[in-house]
Structure 1
Amino acid sequence: MSAGELGYSRDNQPGKLQIAFGISVGLNNIPTMLTIQKGNVQDKKHMQMLIRLCSSVLPEGSLLVFDCGGNTQDNKRRIRDLKFHYLTLKAKKKGPYRNEITIYHARKESQVSFVSGNRVYSCVKYRDGEEVRYIFFCDDLACDQLTKKARKLEKDLEKGKVLTKKVERGKDLGQYIAPEGWIIARGHLQKIIGDIPNPYVTGLEGFFVLESTIDGDPENILNAYKNRDRAEKFIRDLKEGAEPGRSGTGPNTR
């Protein structure tokens, strides 16, 4: 049975059948595990298979480093049941992240700062049960993210100018077929006072949160997470030769 399925394409080729690779790479850049799943398998489910294989390949106490795609409470519990440690990124959802940012500002006296990759990071860490949360902020990262969102707003405003002219002339904005006929889209311009606020700015810019069972130095924790791209680089090398439609990555291991 073919593993090729239509799914989310990281290569922006949604019409092609895809397969999902899961790979574990150690600090020595040598792959330790490789799994292949159908192209429509979600990362969190694929991660479950990798975790099961870890028990056959890795010694107890190993650290699994993976991104937020595999970060679920169930996956983290499975990792701990196998007596491994984990380091992962907390998914950037507004509500939970705003709570973390509140903690970050409330504990300014415990902030530590350091330079990594020519960027200055500050971090507050705290323990929640057996898990340690590392709340990072980088001003350069915030500027980069705000710049990208400003460009996105500019593109939307340019599109809006074209639509505004159609609205002012009473022209249709679009037509959509329906079982009972055609839906004709017409617009109405609601003006506001002042500048248009950027709807893409959330207040989370520059912040990210790492979760781990390791209570370590924030700089070392961040560097360990950054090094997870060994697996991604290995997949890119594979794609240059095999050209699979989609690749997914599993944990980096220590």
Structure 2
Amino acid sequence: MTPSIASIFSLLLNHSLIGLVSYKLTENFSIKEAGNWLNQKEVLEILNLESFHERALCRALEILGRNREEILSDILSNLFYVYDFEQTNLNLDWTSIVLYGTKSKLGKYGYSRDHRPDKLQITVGISELADPLNIPIGVTVNRGNVLDLEHFSHTYNQVKSRLKEGSLIVFDKGANTTENIKIIQKDEMEYLTSMKLNTSDDKIIEKFDLEKAELIDSKKGIYGIKIVKPSRIKYLYFSESLQKRQLEAKARAVMRKLKEAKEIQKAIVNNKKLPKKFRINNELIEIDYSFRTKLEELSDEEAIELLKASLINGREGFFCLKSNRDLTLEDALMTYRKKDSIEKIFHSLKNEINIKPLRVWSDDSIYGAIILGFIAQLFISLMRYEFEGLKHRSTKFIKKSLLNLTLTINFKKNGIKNYIFANFDQINSLIVAKKNGITQNI
């Protein structure tokens, strides 16, 4: 019989953290509001807690962060003890989260996935048991300027002891380095990753023949060939739809560059200052510069052809995967595409579990807040794993369902209390039915 989520919950968290995770999966406002919610008499009684000040929750986050390695190790141990996962193929990926404030040493400027390069950030790595499990099993936190290729070993090493020999590790080109691949192979694991196209691939691309290539996806016009090397296999693909999108994007870039050149040429001819967007606008910088465009000797058509030649390199529509596992072209592409499930975890953590924005906290509090969000996300993922009807339900709807479920406590004269649940829907009734040993389907 599949174990209940409650059984693993009790193994991992003490009462106050159970309350924090419960709050994060329902109302999920500030720590202050979490303290108000938890200090309700009935909630304190259910969680077997004494009344406390909200500062105690801040201390709880710091303790959680300070002991993160031991806690995450315990989570892994209990998770794999309770669940007998049929496979341990792994997806790895990394993201950044904006950090408000300057006190934490973790906060650094770096490539911002939140599109806020003006803000300090931290980087977060997630390891996820791959499809069809889609369960996050590890989380790592690093400085905001740490690249994926550096963060890789921290994220992978955290969970590798739980992986079965020969597990497939899937990650993108940002972490694809010779050193990282050696780490995987040393542990007798296998890998699948994407790779950047280089000049050696151009010769293969030139000879790429659609009639000889294998048709992978007729709808998107994807073709592929396998290139077998002694230690790895390259899976080279060509996508007609991708080529169309990339050429359209480059066409827009051509027209944008032509427009910019014309604006500069007009300023030169009229002996005027350059438009502001082309100037260095800083009072502390003095610079003399001159511009000359090629438009004096080129027609628009010739200028467009020149820009096309510089932007279009013949690789449009092509992409490449590599692995030390011999897969079919279709399986390699499908397996790599399914890595996108980890992007859904990032979206859920940031926008539905709401681990952002991170405010001015100590490093340990930041670690604690991330781990708290990770645990909340873990239980959402376990709900999807246990209940087939929830597999494709978003975190947003699962949380909304849990929030809708209400409990009324009826106090009898003899001191006996009746607990009455109400506002059932398809999702929360599944969870309650499971707790009571009743089978239900959506």
- Measure the CA separation in 1 of the matches of 2:253 and 2:134: 37
Which stretch of structure 1 is more off in the superposition, 49-58 or 8-17? 49-58
**Mapped pair 1:238 → 2:238:** no
- Measure the CA separation in 2 of the matches of 1:142 and 1:42: 29
**Native 8 Å contact 1:172 1:186 kept in 2:** no
**Mapped pair 1:137 → 2:238:** yes
Q: Decide whether aligned partners of structure 1 residues 22 and 175 sit closer, same or farther in structure 2, where only a CA change above 3 A counts.
A: closer
Which stretch of structure 1 is more off in the superposition, 164-173 or 197-206? 164-173
- Measure the CA separation in 2 of the matches of 1:70 and 1:56: 20
Which stretch of structure 1 is more off in the superposition, 183-192 or 195-204? 183-192
Which residue of the partner structure matches residue 201 of structure 2? Answer: 97
- Alpha-carbon shift at residue 178 of structure 1 (Å): 11
- Alpha-carbon shift at residue 50 of structure 1 (Å): 2.1
Q: Which one of 207, 214, 229 corresponds to residue 112 of structure 1?
A: 214
**Native 8 Å contact 2:215 2:223 kept in 1:** yes
- Percent identity, aligned pairs only, is 31
Which residue of the partner structure matches residue 252 of structure 2? Answer: 151
1:180-195 equivalences under 5 Å are: 181-189=286-294, 190-192=296-298, 194-195=301-302
SS of match in other structure, 1:89: strand
**Mapped pair 1:85 → 2:190:** yes
**Native 8 Å contact 1:97 1:204 kept in 2:** no
- Measure the CA separation in 2 of the matches of 1:130 and 1:54: 25
- Measure the CA separation in 2 of the matches of 1:23 and 1:175: 42
**Native 8 Å contact 2:107 2:120 kept in 1:** yes
Q: Which one of 224, 232, 245 corresponds to residue 123 of structure 1?
A: 224
- Measure the CA separation in 1 of the matches of 2:123 and 2:217: 35
Q: Deviations over 1:98-143 (max 9, x none)?
A: 14424645x964x211227x31211110211120000100111101
Q: Decide whether aligned partners of structure 1 residues 100 and 24 sit closer, same or farther in structure 2, where only a CA change above 3 A counts.
A: farther
Q: Deviations over 1:222-252 (max 9, x none)?
A: 000000011111011111112258xxxxxxx
- Measure the CA separation in 1 of the matches of 2:357 and 2:113: 11
- Alpha-carbon shift at residue 7 of structure 1 (Å): 0.8
In structure 2, the gaps of 5 or more residues are 1-103, 359-442
SS of match in other structure, 2:349: helix
CA RMSD of aligned residues (A): 2.5
Relative contact order (alpha carbons < 8 A, sep ≥ 6): 1 or 2 greater? 1
- Measure the CA separation in 2 of the matches of 1:56 and 1:37: 21
Structure 2 counterpart of 1:18, one-letter code: Q
**Native 8 Å contact 1:32 1:57 kept in 2:** no
TM-score, with structure 1 as normaliser: 0.86
- Alpha-carbon shift at residue 172 of structure 1 (Å): 3.9
- Measure the CA separation in 2 of the matches of 1:17 and 1:220: 39
TM-score, with structure 2 as normaliser: 0.51
- Bigger strand fraction: 1
Which residue of the partner structure matches residue 68 of structure 1? Answer: 173
- Measure the CA separation in 2 of the matches of 1:126 and 1:25: 29
Q: Which one of 108, 112, 116 corresponds to residue 5 of structure 1?
A: 108
Q: Decide whether aligned partners of structure 1 residues 90 and 51 sit closer, same or farther in structure 2, where only a CA change above 3 A counts.
A: same
**Native 8 Å contact 1:175 1:184 kept in 2:** no
- Measure the CA separation in 1 of the matches of 2:287 and 2:328: 61
In structure 1, the gaps of 5 or more residues are 246-254
Aligned pair count?
242
**Native 8 Å contact 1:124 1:135 kept in 2:** yes
- Bigger helix fraction: 2
Q: Which one of 27, 34, 59 corresponds to residue 164 of structure 2?
A: 59
Which residue of the partner structure matches residue 5 of structure 2? Answer: none
